[in-house]
Structure 1
Amino acid sequence: MKFLISNDDGIHAPGLLALYHALSTVGEVMVVAPDTEQSGCASALNISQPLYTHELASGFIAVNGSPADCVYLALHQLYCDVSFDCVITGINSGANLGQDVLFSGTFGAALTAQLFGIPAIATSLVGSAIKGNGQDKTSHYQMAAAEIVKLLTETPLLEEIKHLPYHVLNVNIPHVNSAADIKGRKITRLGHSQLARPVHHVVDPRGRDAYWLSLRKCENASVSNPNTAIAQPTVAAQVINDNQCLSNDTDIQAVAAGYISLSPVRLHHTPTTTLNRLSALVL
């Protein structure tokens, strides 16, 4: 098997290295990733400035661009003669759950691959502790990478997603101490959580207003606190509630219970029922 991997945490991120070593045991792996952290850039492409590459001693290729840039460049220039079995992005440092996939560079890079017909999987490791330093962090990424290899080699998952055009599989490994603590795997839908504080306003040392955007969720997303959360618009809230009535198997719930979450996400977001409803309007 041949794999292309990238990420949004940068070419030197431990999650990328762990994924590379794990996948190298079952196939040939090419690495093209941003030269700096690019978290939150979704599927942005740099089309108004040139991209430059730098090959590291490891053979990894660093690009001065976004994760989507890396995949785009790899598929159409750097490795245009390679037929990849799958593009796998990550392992992201922290969760990519629910609505976060809309902003995730990890997911955006995988989405870019699927636009060109390449099976794509976005992978993330849940938990804030793995952002720290030390051997403990490394072992968590190695555990997550091993679980990803198991998905590819011990299940028919890869073969199945080859027959799902315009789908990205969004995988989240739960925050556990070891693989033995993982309860299993669940096919899930994307959940939705309220944001605790979308924007943090600060004043910098020169007296200027500055703003940090945040995706931090409420501690208890099921209880709306007007002092800490942004209330959902009425229509959006109704859609979310309707979806929750259909199924409670969200990615958020699965990883909280210790399961690996596998969420198939389709790129074309225009539902037929909505098209039919709006087409009936006299405009």
Structure 2
Amino acid sequence: MASKRLRILLTNDDGPPSGPKGHSPFVYPFARALVDAGHDVRVVVPSSQKSWIGKAYHIADKCTGVFYYPPVGSDDGTGGETSDLPRERREGEMEWVLLNGTPATCASVALHNLFAPNSFDLVISGPNLGRNSSTAFAMSSGTVGAAMAAAISGANAIALSWGLMEGWKPPPREFVDAATKVSRDVVERLHEVGWGEGEGRVDVYTVNVPLLPSIQKSPEVRWTTMAQTAYGRLFKSTPHPDSTTSASPAEVNKGGPAAVAAPQGDNVKPATSGDESSSSSSAKKDELRLKDEHRKEKLHFVFAPDLGALINPRPEDLVEDTDNHAIFAGAISITPIRAAFMPAKAPNVQLRL
């Protein structure tokens, strides 16, 4: 049982519980663990997966939602009841809110609309299906985006991500159980450490927990900075649905690209069979010109990122003291950041779980 009962808002970008093989396998067991530790937990999550959406708000859309009641005693939280209005809860039952908005919308609506001001001691976004280490992933992440939205609203925020590591996909149940416990311990310890004040304030702690054998026994915890990374192509040109040569649309793997091992979209049929870098022989050498394929086919692109080197970096590319370096060494990474995507100074505290 926790030493202090915390009032926690839990959100994510993976959506409602899906079971171990779905897009959102981690949020329910983690929520349940927080409740079992004695914390007062309220869950407000998107009604569907919203990975790779950052801190976006769909301001032209109307946001609606329903109440969701996971079955008491469930292993994965699926198969519960939904209701347009809240109802009396049964013993041991949790009440969730599912909104058809972005992760940042969920955080904002929960903090400013669903509950009274200053209701929460802590906002946790996650656990994400897949790591959010390094700038390329963190700045794209709906998990980090929701934590940023909460921080900008003045809340103490943590972005929590569980890294699916090469050779352990899908992760064994015992890894998930261990990550659940250690993540709860990290969250409670960070609340004790605090977020600081003034120029030294930390807006968000972004925590990456690698699902590796090391997580099962007294895992190392490291203060880190965020590795500087980049990505190249994210979208792939494919035949338009109206085209007679249209192929089946590509799908992003569950949890977004950080949750998989290999580049995505290699099985997507290109719009043309020619060299994408070719241009008309009549074009002037230095003239900016559309690729020829886009002059012959309707524009149609699918999210099919080529992220092989980003997901599985070479050991020599891992910079010491960064989040990437830590998780690939089997350690838990805690990166203090500001809501301006600026590094924040780590507290002068030795973390021991």
Which is richer in helix? 1
Segments ≥4 residues shifted beyond 6 Å: none
Residue matched to 2:102: 66
Instruction: Indicate which of 260, 265, 268 corresponds to 2:332.
Output: 260
Instruction: Indicate which of 152, 156, 162 corresponds to 1:119.
Output: 156
Alignment deviations for residues 221-248 of structure 1 (CA, whole Å, 9 cap, x no partner): 5789xxxxxxxxxxxxxxxxxxx9xx72
- State the identity as a percent: 28
Residue matched to 2:32: 21
Instruction: Indicate which of 66, 78, 93 corresponds to 2:129.
Output: 93
Residue matched to 2:113: 77
Confirm whether residue 185 of structure 1 aligns to residue 221 of structure 2: yes
In structure 1, stretches of 5+ residues that fail to align are 225-243, 272-283
Q: Residue type of the partner of 1:6?
A: T
Instruction: Indicate which of 155, 175, 193 corresponds to 2:211.
Output: 175
In the aligned structure 1, how far is the partner of 2:207 from the partner of 2:316?
A: 27
- 1:49 Cα deviation after fit: 1.8
In the aligned structure 2, how far is the partner of 1:180 from the partner of 1:31?
A: 27
What is the aligned residue count? Answer: 245
> Greater CA deviation, 32-41 or 81-90?
81-90
- The 3 A distance-change label for structure 1 pair 192 and 161 is same
In structure 2, stretches of 5+ residues that fail to align are 1-5, 18-23, 71-94, 247-297, 344-353
In the aligned structure 1, how far is the partner of 2:122 from the partner of 2:48?
A: 24
- 1:177 Cα deviation after fit: 3.3
Residue matched to 1:152: 187
Residue matched to 2:196: 163
Q: Is the 8 A contact 1:14 1:138 kept in 2?
A: no
Q: TM-score, normalised by structure 1?
A: 0.77
Alignment deviations for residues 151-191 of structure 1 (CA, whole Å, 9 cap, x no partner): 234x3x21333325451100000131363356400000000
Q: Is the 8 A contact 1:117 1:166 kept in 2?
A: no
Q: Is the 8 A contact 2:55 2:104 kept in 1?
A: yes
Residue matched to 1:108: 145
Q: Residue type of the partner of 1:216?
A: L
Q: Is the 8 A contact 2:227 2:324 kept in 1?
A: yes
User: How big is the alpha-carbon RMSD for the aligned residues of Structure 1 and Structure 2?
Assistant: 2.7
> Greater CA deviation, 215-224 or 79-88?
215-224
> Greater CA deviation, 251-260 or 192-201?
192-201
Q: TM-score, normalised by structure 2?
A: 0.63
